[in-house]
Structure 1
Amino acid sequence: MLTHSLQTIVGRSLLLTPLALAGPALAQTVLQPESPTQLEEMLVTARKSATAALPINVAADSVERSQIEAMNVINAEDALRYVSNVQIRKRYIGDANGAPASRGTSAPQAARSQVLMDGIPISNLLGSGFLYAPKWGLLAPDEIESIDVMYGPFSALYSGNTLGTGIFVTTHMPEKFEMSLGALDAYQNFRGYETDLSLNNRRYDASIGSRAGNVSWAIYANHLEAEGNPANFLTVPVSTGTLVTGTTPVDAIAASGAIREIDAGGIDRYLFGTSSTFDDTTDVVKGKVKWDIDEDTRLFATLAYQEASSQLLNHQSYLRDANGNQIIRGRVQIGDRVFNLNNLSILQLNVTASRNLLAGATLQKRFDNRWLIEASASGFDVLDGDVRTATMANAPNGQVNETDDQGWRNGALRAIYTPDAVHWLGKTLVLGTDYGRYWNQNSAYQSPNWRAGMRGTLAERNRGETRQTALFGENTWGLGSAVDVTLGLRYEDWQARDGLRTLGALSIDYPERSEQKWSPKATLTWRTTPELTVQTRAARAYRFPTVTELFQSRTTGGYLVQSDPNLKPEDATTFDVSLTRRFDLAGGRAKASVAVFSEDVKDAIFNQYNVFQQATFNTSIGRVLTRGLELNLATFGMFAQRVDLDANLVYQQSEIRDNPNNPATVGNDFPRIPNWRGKLLATWRPLELLSASIGLAYEGKQYNLIDNSDDRSGGYGYMSEYFLVDLKASYQLTGNIEASLGIDNVTDELVYYYHPYPRRTYSASLRWRMR
């Protein structure tokens, strides 16, 4: 429910526009400002962040707590569902591989999105594929206070990993004693091809917190049991089968169940079953402390522990012999060809488990009401983890892939100066440095008993590390009362070291590398009237290669993607121009905006087939140009505070302009960037205790393949054009208990984002809260 305080703030600030009058740092300071000007700027941003460095003056969209409560938020990333031009690739409830996509960035390019939770990075910048999605599971849905989204690397305070998006999450800290208990159950009937499954998911969470004097604290616990729909269907190219002769060995003959079709790449294939449902369990315990040491000093600390496991043990085969028995292994005859199912990697069973620890702290100190110094440090460690995989179905031998050492460290020091009068240094000056170190070592062993985790001969070992140190400065000047100019400059020193790849008796040590880059930024904000603002932004940025892109080859989508230790950094030049209008609408306050943007990226890192080397690599595409138009409308408090609306529509075109490794792709659409995206979230409160909402989401046509050959009817491996409808209703049963019912994908669409998305999903939740 939208609180009166938020309505008041929104009425003054017009929905957290990206045009906050202050510089990016001061507008976010959590220390109480002394001057009326600073207080007004804090009201504009309406944040109680743990960090003073959120670049709100270049934010493009935001999500408030009232909007989150209007959605079916089962996992934290669901809160971004209706954000303009952002899509989270989520295959099932609790999917750990939920990579963000935005503007000219596709979901496989996860390292172009940087997610911070109270200033602590939770983006997994060890890699840039789906396996390296942000650690959304470290966020409890009930603790999210707000989310701000920045499109493009327009702030000097952050690295080129914000080339796609910077996602800044602010969590709740209690001002008095509070406690919460929640339970949620979700159900879907998943149907695709010959698969028909009833799937259940459960989430239980609890929190407690309080404030005593100058210390506030909170503890969150979350338990999720997810039964996820299958991600893959079992396929085999017809051409790989052996033509049957009188001497061809055959273990079984398929009398039925093989579906013959053309796949997204134009290959004639048999589809004969589905991979296992996901049996996932995730437990998170998290504690936060905020200590106001004195009126000018504050310490904020977070500690989170996570245990996660996933099992894929129940592959389903459609193949049946003449007696109706299921065929899942061996040499099977389908039509006039024989296929050895034992050789298909997609049939391998596997079990994954990990224990993770996140810790971070931010210390702030204010001097003379003009200087604010902030120091922060954080780290993420995989305490232990492994992936155990069978060589073939129902066989004891397999492989154990162990995480030997994996994690990251981040640190930053920022100094924010705000003159108390007109000064040649302008309105706000930010100076600082930051540091990031990411490392990974894992070893794969042959195993005589993969379920027990027994280790045999070393099959492969990968190791590597990247480090990035930056110096930055950003200054905002006021050119009169109506115009602000912000100029920023970022210097980055990047290093890759300790690269090693061992394959059996072959061992390769990669030489150390280093790169140094300068990234300028500029923003012009012109408030032509109190209601109308124009903003122009420009930035240069570099996204450096990750550890796994450089040093670790991997199998994805059934084919080997080879690493490249010589990858160049992505080189991006980005512009956008926006026009924002505030006005009254139906008794409420509204904001409408239009933005035109351009992203020109040289040496864009993407896995693609090299036509000259006849293999798939993490490699560079010479140039990708994305241009588009975004329309946004947001309103709060219409019709006597009963109706809120957030709607957006995007048209964009992402085109490959140069690609030396595969010249035939020049002129093609870049994969997984749709021409159209549109979303709407409408909330209606007919009674004080009752609220209802409807959410709409549309994604237009897009390709999965870089050669754009997947322009056919659809199915497994394709990218669906889709229109989804979600519903939710919440009722306050008593002063402390709220019940909610939700339906996602009301029309039960079967959507393929290469993998199938969930079908119609029902959810019911009950929450008891004391505040």
Structure 2
Amino acid sequence: MSLLGKHNLLGLSLAGLLAPSAGADHAPGELATEEVRVWGERGRGSEHQTTGPSHTIGPEDIRGINITTTEDLVKFEPSLVVRRRFIGDANGTLGIRGSNMFQTARSMVFADGVPLHYLLESRWSGSPRWTLVSASEIAQVELLYGPFSAEYSGNAMGGVINIETAIPESRRIRIDGSVFSQGFDAYGFDDSLNGYKGFASYGDRFGDLSVYLSYNHLDNEAQPQSYYYGGGTNNPTPQPVSGAIRGLDSEGNERLFFGDTGVINTTTDNLKLKLGYDWTHWSTLLNVAYEDRLSRTDDANSYVTDTNGDLVWGGDLVQNGAAFSMPASRLNVSAMERDTLSTGWRLQGDLTEDVSLETSLSHFTILRDESRASAVNPAHPEASPAGQVSDYGDTGWRTAEVKLRAENWLTEGLSLVTGARTEAYELNLNVYDSDDYRAGEKTEATSRSGGETRIDAFYAQAAWQFHPRWDSTLGLRYEDWRSDNGYFSNDQPDTPALDLTPVPDNSRQRVSPKFSLGFTPNNDWQLRYSLARAYRFPIVEELFSQYQAYNAVSEANPELKPEDGVHHNLMLERHLTNGLMRLNLFQENVKDVIESQTELLPGGGSVRTFVPIDEVETWGAEWIADLQGLWHPQLDWRFNLTYTRSEVTDNEPNPDLEGNTFPRMPRWRGNLLASYHLSADWQVNANIQYASDSFGSLDNSDTEKGVYGAQDGYIFIGLKTRYQLDDHWGFSLGLDNVTDERAYVAHPWPGRTVYASFSYDWH
């Protein structure tokens, strides 16, 4: 199938997700074969099945999910977690298998071959740029588990998500929208929060030229994400107050919580242009996406009042004999504005009947990424326009790749893929004191840091079907990594300007072998063992990003080594007449693990450091069952359950950590999705998400659950029904977290959320 080949399983957009397009000659939610053209990479599931475990998500898999943003499509997949704390969250980090949700540089996400993963920063700042592709334009998603393919770098230690989008072969106009609302209460906050999403697209084909334009707008109010408790004070005459809420922190210490960040207002606009052109055996695609994001936290809540009943916004306080400090900067207000531009170009064609060539270029640049924060809350008696401004300048990346594929290379049944890829990353962060934060005035620089990294890679991988029942794959990837132009501020008081300290350049070369052996005793069973070595090189933030802001300090480590992992997977798969069942046993041993730890300080501040861990071992079992018509012809089931045990097995600098469970790695994860087809046009769905609790710190001291800062287990139940009125209109209603369970992933997960959606297609 060519790059732009026809695909009879793909739906175009949320019409397939929220309300399927009905047709006279195809199943509900599917688009007629001659009307859809796939823009992403060629369907490569069959190729990747010879390297390691993979899974393809089509329209039937995701129609029963309440979907507003792209990351919703994968949140029910095995051994995977997306830490999206609210709809529109810019920090929707991704974790797969033995890589937790804050090891963001271990998972890769592509849309039509364009990188969405953010290999500049980690933890909450390292989330994939999900909003550069709208949920309503997605046709299919492919997941690859582990770094078993030589086509991908060690950033695939967790896995790879390949998103494919689609465009109609004829004129098609699409409009859809959703409204959603949640009620939320925790500590001193209790309110209803609302949002909406709107999408419009136009696709058409003029001879060999294809055009696709889309606009996506998201506006949402989110629950407070941080709750602040007081620190100690030595003031002999603290101010008497009331209203602070007594509670426990994640380590079980009794605290007085004095306030929260208030509602987060987020708006995101996404504009997309795709131009494709076909001639003879060649196809090319230009993909341009622009994102404009604004996030405001300008209504912080103080729970504390003085003896006159007036709100208190800072100071040394005492309540019922318990003295505590309330830092004035903790309840400040802030706003973040971000404009980014992503451009991708791809060319693919056949050189001969058995040989094809593919080349791609991508460029991601931050046009503006600025955060503005006040020094204190505007209601504070000492409030002024003074504040702080943080600015990312000259930040982004460039990639280029050329890839050659050959079938029946040298002999029948032997295929080869070989190629070269280069990636260059640059990050620069400047923090300023501001005389007027509202205007974004940059009065005086207080810290600067940044640097660059680059990886040049060459790879080759051969797959050989050497027997009707046996196949083998052997791959090799060579990578040349280097960091340069690193710097951070280390100001000297006796000099007038901000002093910068250069960081020495560094370079490393690594070779990563890959191997897989498969046995298919018959058409129903498959057994496969996969083995890979992978190196994950440090990213710019881990090496260079050092700064001090009002409520956060970050300390980088330019001496970090690359993570060195050996990964195993044993898969047993059974194909049934109505679906499949699969068992994966996996093990990962990773040395020189780069773990970012954040210490929460009394009063709400934090210190972030990048700590190398000598070795972490992870092993687990993954059970997957996708069954159609089980117990009833109109009832479909998808189920997965994963057991994972991840431990620090060696750590010479601090042996006390040995034997501890690695942070944010729950022992159990599972998902259940059930779909019942009342008719060809009406479907009802139910789903359950489950995770056991985990730790947030390496020392495993955070054992308290159900409190801010905890890593809670949860059971979230979701419902959805959708109805296709006619060939154009579709409607759906949904509910997430039916029981309104309150759980924390340090920050709180959303409460019970109601959805109402519509779609209209003209074609």
| TM-score (ref. length: structure 1) | 0.89
Aligned to 1:332: 317
Q: 2:712 aligns with which of 707, 710, 720?
A: 720
Distance 1:180 1:559 in 2: 44
Aligned to 1:10: none
1:308 matched to 2:293? The reply is: yes
1:513 matched to 2:506? The reply is: yes
Deviation at 1:223? 0.5
Distance 2:631 2:712 in 1: 37
- Aligned residues of 2:302 and 2:331 also touching (Cα < 8 A): no
Aligned to 2:343: 359
Aligned partner letter, 1:744 = D
Deviation at 1:645? 1.6
Distance 2:551 2:446 in 1: 19
Q: Secondary structure at the match of 1:405?
A: coil
Aligned partner letter, 1:432 = G
1:223 matched to 2:217? The reply is: yes
Greater displacement, 637-646 / 733-742: 637-646
Distance 1:565 1:426 in 2: 47
* Residues 452, 690 of structure 1: alpha-carbon distance in 2 compared, 3 angstrom cutoff: same
- Aligned residues of 1:161 and 1:543 also touching (Cα < 8 A): yes
Distance 2:348 2:510 in 1: 29
Aligned to 1:673: 665
Distance 2:289 2:598 in 1: 40
Distance 2:758 2:43 in 1: 35
Q: Secondary structure at the match of 1:131?
A: helix
Aligned to 2:265: 279
* Residues 632, 47 of structure 1: alpha-carbon distance in 2 compared, 3 angstrom cutoff: farther
Distance 2:124 2:484 in 1: 24
* Residues 375, 392 of structure 1: alpha-carbon distance in 2 compared, 3 angstrom cutoff: same
Distance 1:709 1:273 in 2: 24
**Aligned positions, number:** 713
Deviation at 1:479? 1.7
Distance 2:663 2:160 in 1: 21
1:385 matched to 2:369? The reply is: yes
Aligned to 1:432: 419
Aligned to 1:318: 303
Distance 1:763 1:646 in 2: 22
Deviations along 1:733-756, whole A, 9 cap, x unmatched?
Answer: 222010110000011100101100
Q: 2:515 aligns with which of 522, 539, 543?
A: 522
1:564 matched to 2:557? The reply is: yes
Gaps of 5+ in 1: 8-41
Aligned partner letter, 2:636 = D
Aligned partner letter, 1:228 = A
Distance 2:631 2:194 in 1: 39
Deviation at 1:353? 0.3
Deviations along 1:458-515, whole A, 9 cap, x unmatched?
Answer: 1111120000000000000112111110100000000100001124443210011000
Aligned partner letter, 2:756 = A
- Aligned residues of 2:258 and 2:326 also touching (Cα < 8 A): no
Distance 2:505 2:465 in 1: 45
Aligned to 1:298: 283
Aligned partner letter, 1:112 = R
- Aligned residues of 1:185 and 1:764 also touching (Cα < 8 A): yes
Aligned to 1:50: 41
Aligned partner letter, 1:308 = R
Aligned partner letter, 1:515 = R
Q: Secondary structure at the match of 1:97?
A: coil
Gaps of 5+ in 2: 1-6, 11-32, 492-497, 600-605
1:262 matched to 2:245? The reply is: no
Aligned to 2:537: 544
- Aligned residues of 2:266 and 2:295 also touching (Cα < 8 A): yes
Distance 2:596 2:233 in 1: 28
1:734 matched to 2:726? The reply is: yes
Aligned partner letter, 1:374 = E
Q: 2:201 aligns with which of 207, 210, 222?
A: 207
Q: Secondary structure at the match of 1:670?
A: coil
Q: Secondary structure at the match of 1:359?
A: strand
- Aligned residues of 1:209 and 1:219 also touching (Cα < 8 A): yes
Aligned partner letter, 1:579 = L
Aligned to 1:24: none
Aligned to 1:604: 593
Identity score, percent:
32
Deviation at 1:554? 5.0
* Residues 711, 271 of structure 1: alpha-carbon distance in 2 compared, 3 angstrom cutoff: same
Describe how 1:15-34 pairs up with structure 2 within 5 A.
none
Q: 1:419 aligns with which of 388, 392, 408?
A: 408
Aligned partner letter, 1:377 = L
Q: Secondary structure at the match of 2:561?
A: coil
Aligned to 1:635: 627
Q: 1:481 aligns with which of 462, 468, 477?
A: 468
1:192 matched to 2:186? The reply is: yes
* Residues 229, 118 of structure 1: alpha-carbon distance in 2 compared, 3 angstrom cutoff: same
- Aligned residues of 1:242 and 1:337 also touching (Cα < 8 A): no
Distance 1:352 1:197 in 2: 23
Distance 1:556 1:568 in 2: 27
Greater displacement, 724-733 / 556-565: 556-565
Distance 1:441 1:561 in 2: 14
Describe how 1:444-483 pairs up with structure 2 within 5 A.
444-483=431-470
1:654 matched to 2:643? The reply is: no
Deviation at 1:61? 2.5
Distance 2:148 2:248 in 1: 44
Deviation at 1:48? 6.4
1:62 matched to 2:56? The reply is: yes
Greater displacement, 664-673 / 505-514: 505-514
Distance 2:461 2:609 in 1: 38
Aligned partner letter, 1:691 = Q
Distance 2:441 2:732 in 1: 46
Distance 1:493 1:211 in 2: 42
- Aligned residues of 2:488 and 2:546 also touching (Cα < 8 A): no
* Residues 752, 571 of structure 1: alpha-carbon distance in 2 compared, 3 angstrom cutoff: same
Aligned partner letter, 1:50 = E
Q: 1:691 aligns with which of 671, 683, 687?
A: 683
Deviations along 1:255-288, whole A, 9 cap, x unmatched?
Answer: 2x22233311344421122112111111000011
1:234 matched to 2:228? The reply is: yes
Deviation at 1:343? 4.7
Deviation at 1:682? 1.2
Q: Secondary structure at the match of 1:451?
A: helix
Distance 1:89 1:133 in 2: 9
Aligned to 1:152: 146
1:591 matched to 2:580? The reply is: yes
Greater displacement, 712-721 / 759-768: 712-721
Greater displacement, 552-561 / 208-217: 552-561
* Residues 446, 559 of structure 1: alpha-carbon distance in 2 compared, 3 angstrom cutoff: closer
Greater displacement, 130-139 / 205-214: 205-214
- Aligned residues of 2:188 and 2:245 also touching (Cα < 8 A): no
* Residues 679, 53 of structure 1: alpha-carbon distance in 2 compared, 3 angstrom cutoff: closer
Distance 1:447 1:116 in 2: 38
Q: 1:553 aligns with which of 546, 564, 569?
A: 546
- Aligned residues of 1:50 and 1:300 also touching (Cα < 8 A): no
Q: Secondary structure at the match of 1:173?
A: strand
Distance 1:307 1:514 in 2: 36
- After superposition, the CA RMSD in angstroms is 2.3
Aligned to 1:745: 737
Distance 1:441 1:462 in 2: 6
